[in-house]
Amino acid sequence: MNAPARYELFVLEDGERAVEITEDTKIPNAATIKVIKQDHTLGNMLRAQLLSMPQVLFAGYKVAHPLQPYFLIKVQTDGTITPQAIIEQACTKLIALVAQLEQKFKREFSFKDAEANSAAAAAAAAGGQAPGVLDDPYGTGSTGGTGMWAAGRDYLDF
């Protein structure tokens, strides 16, 4: 087959650099950055973060070929900061954003687990049902309106 082995898509080989920066000679304050062993996921997030920064005039990326595990991102700044520095700032902001998302995710699901456990314990005490089993596992409210959905919550609350 033409497809490379799966590990070749994300594991850096010995001596292989993850990022290569090439200054653009035709466009002022611009550079092309080649990011190895990454794909559209990181490319699009990085482009979007760069475009949200006021010092960036242009940011775009492309994946040369689906079987080649790299993308090229071109950045042009207004001259107050270098393209390399703005890329570093964008990466730092993305890392902070992902860490914040992880915290929110863990917090919300710990609340959901605590709510489910307290509801199961209350149901077990009231009706003798085994602990850990909800009366209304789908939240349809068929247990007299005391389900998780009865308080006007929706799926975004979980």
The helix or strand, by DSSP H or E, that contains position 75, with its residue range, turns out to be: strand 70-77
Q: How many CB atoms lie within 10 A of CB 35?
A: 19
Q: What per-residue confidence (pLDDT) applies to 5?
A: 80
Q: What per-residue confidence (pLDDT) applies to 117?
A: 72
What type of residue is 118? Answer: S
Residue 152 is assigned to a structural domain of this protein: no
| Count of positions (residues) in the chain | 158
Residue 20 is assigned to a structural domain of this protein: yes
Q: What per-residue confidence (pLDDT) applies to 39?
A: 87
Q: Cβ distance 158 to 107 under 8 Å?
A: no
Residue 48 is assigned to a structural domain of this protein: yes
Q: What per-residue confidence (pLDDT) applies to 152?
A: 58
Residue 91 is assigned to a structural domain of this protein: yes
What type of residue is 45? Answer: M
pLDDT by position in tens, the chain (length 158): 677 787 777 788 888 898 999 999 999 999 999 999 998 899 999 999 999 999 999 999 999 998 888 999 999 999 999 999 999 999 999 999 999 999 998 888 887 777 777 766 666 666 655 555 555 555 555 555 454 545 555 555 55
Where helices occur in the chain by DSSP H, the ranges are 40-51, 83-127
What one-character DSSP code corresponds to residue 6? Answer: G
Q: Which domain holds residue 14?
A: 7-103
Q: What per-residue confidence (pLDDT) applies to 58?
A: 96
- The CATH number given to whatever domain includes residue 61 is 3.30.1360.10
What is the number of domains present in the chain? 1
